[in-house]
Amino acid sequence: MQAYDALIFDNDGVLTTPTDHDTLERAIATAFDSVGVADPPQDHLETLISPTVDSLHEIARTHAVEPDELWNARERAAIEAQLEAIRAGEKHLYDDVAAVESLSIPRAIVSNNQHETIGNIVEHFELHDFEPWIGREPTLEGIRRKKPRPYYLDRAVERLGAANPLYVGDSRVDVAAANAVGIDAAFVRREHRRGYELEDVPAHEIDSLTELDRLVAD
């Protein structure tokens, strides 16, 4: 098999710890408040953590607000809340990310988190060797394009000019996105993924990013 010529990483749960669920819920409650909706139902808060366009439209219609207005408020609040968590040390880099820095092949990031949030992470943790870094647009189109759709991962592969990249992720959608692009996936089974079942079998399953040197060497 041809050697991997680039590594592309998901962010949350791979490079940095996942954003705390309560942090996102509070951000979404703030977003609702900013568009004039007080005390939204709990299921609406949960849905807006990762909605489809249809579910967003349904919730917006229920509260008589424009979907774009609600989503823009949600995204801005989530970006600001995550930046606060990063600065406070609540959302932090995994220790084994240091092992990736010694690898000689190009590295990139593709995440379903907002592009601005990924930029904040790259800046705060000085991940400047990860290029390109791509998050989704904070728009309804960004919802449609997020993984498992291959849109953002395709863009990264093209910008890298890679012939055989490896996508490193921690979720079903990461493996599915890699399959959709036609590249291998490495699934990182971190502590928060113990017992997590995959629908598709990845090319590799690892417990730590320190194992990537072996995969690259192979």
Element (H, E) at 158: helix 151-160
pTM: 0.95
Quote the CA–CA distance of 64 and 128 in Å, as a whole number.
43
pLDDT tens for each residue of the chain, 218 residues long: 568 999 999 999 999 999 999 999 999 999 999 999 999 999 999 999 999 999 999 999 999 999 999 999 999 999 999 999 999 999 999 999 999 988 999 999 999 999 999 999 999 999 999 999 999 999 999 999 999 999 999 999 999 999 999 999 999 999 999 999 999 999 999 999 999 999 999 999 999 999 999 998 76
Angle at 17 between CA 14 and CA 141, to 5 degrees: 70
Q: Contact 198/175 with Cβ under 8 angstroms?
A: yes
